[in-house]
Amino acid sequence: LIVHFNPQFIKDPASCKPWFVHTERGCHAAHHVDFESCTKMATMEPATEVVPPCKCGVSKFSLVMEGVLEWDDADTAVIRSAVSQDDTDEHDGRVRCVNVDGMEAKLKKQRGIIAALRRQLGQGSSAMADQKKLTAKMSKQMRENDDQMEKFKQSADESAKELKEVKEQLKVARKSKERAQEELAKLKSASAIESAMSESVPRPPCCPSNCTEAARHAAKSRKLETILHKYEKLTAENKGLKHRLAEMAASFAAESHGSGHDSASNPESSSSTPDPSSGPAAQGSIIDITKHHTDLELTLNLDSPHLSFLPGQWTVLTLLHANDSSTTSSYAPAVLSILSTPSELPRIRFYLKNSPNPGSLRNFLFHKAELGDRIQLEHG
């Protein structure tokens, strides 16, 4: 083998490689040449009797050696020592002249690269496992929030129905009260007149007709008192029902806010994420709607990527504009938990269940929503 430096590399490094290796099977250019041993290596001076292995016309000032040409990579040539197979070559010298330091440095570098790759692989696997756990936890929390919302809605519907019935009963009781008061006023007026007449006119003798009339007036008075008592009872029940509805609304709001706060305070899911403050209203467009039987995954693209929130935090969604001109924006807002993480912004995802109420935003998203519809977000 003949190895020599290419002088053209000094003038124009971008057009060529610095080294040439000439062999009987071809000549090659390389950026680097590693020598395993200095054995059987000589300088090709004018007096050296060497027959070039090729017809490139190499100069008389090159390195001449015996060895095997190999390639560690596309730009690095390695010349291995030529060793006799039966160990009879007394000039072999492989053990005496091997470049041990260079080989150990190269081996150490390769081991460092392998160790770094293993660490990166382990870190990536750990991060993926943590992300899967966080996603599963957020999905479970959202399902629980949806179940609580559905229970509260059913309870609210039942309470509204009961309140409507109480109002009807109260209306009937008011009318009965007014009639009873009129009858009572008439009775008092009649009693006053009778008292005045009895003082000026001698009391007639007691007879069956007088007793019957007095008994009839007494029964009527008792009936009127019963109606008044029923009206007062219905009024008290109505006040208690209103108070219970207010307590249920406050309890559900505290539970919803508490669930979002628990997700934020969990060290496993928010150890590196700051607590967001109350966020202003944000707007975005629907870019994906994926249905899973009775559930739906909604994806929005926000107009601004700057939105502070935590995964699982509750958010109020309001319809701003629908592409369908026949659709109005008078839908009741929906309170949903955020499925995505802040790293996915400006995209944000939600997971929700259908609602049987045609006037709710959930029902609209399941049956009428289209890509491009505008939604407003507001969370606390």
Write the DSSP assignment of 28-84 as a string of letters. Answer: EEESEEEESB-TTEEEE-TT-----SSSS---SSEEEE-EEEEEEETTEEEEEE---
Q: What is the pLDDT of residue 8?
A: 87
Cα–Cα distances (Å) from 104 to 74, 75, 82, in that order, read 21, 20, 20
Each residue's pLDDT tens digit, 188-198:
887 777 666 66
pTM of the model: 0.30
Confidence grade of residue 234 (pLDDT, cut at 50, 70, 90): confident
pLDDT of 39 higher than 60:
yes
- What does the pLDDT look like over 119-160, one tens digit per residue? 999 999 999 999 999 999 999 999 999 999 999 899 899 888
Q: How confident is the model at residue 274 (pLDDT cuts 50, 70, 90)?
A: very low
Q: What is the largest CA-CA distance in the chain?
A: 173
Q: How confident is the model at residue 102 (pLDDT cuts 50, 70, 90)?
A: low
Task: Dump pLDDT digits (tens) for 316-339.
Answer: 999 998 887 766 668 888 889 888
* Cα–chain center distance at 217: 74
Question: Two tokens at 118?
Answer: 């293993």
pLDDT-derived band of residue 202, with 50, 70 and 90 as boundaries?
low
Half-sphere exposure of 102 (CA within 13 A, CB side): 10
Lowest mean pLDDT among 124-128, 231-235, 270-274: 270-274
How far is residue 354's CA from residue 291's CA, in Å, rounded to a whole number? 10
- Tokens describing residue 112: 């460092």
| CA separation for the pair 190, 110 (Å, rounded) | 117
Give how far Cα 319 sits from Cα of 25, 333, 340, 375, Å: 76, 7, 20, 5
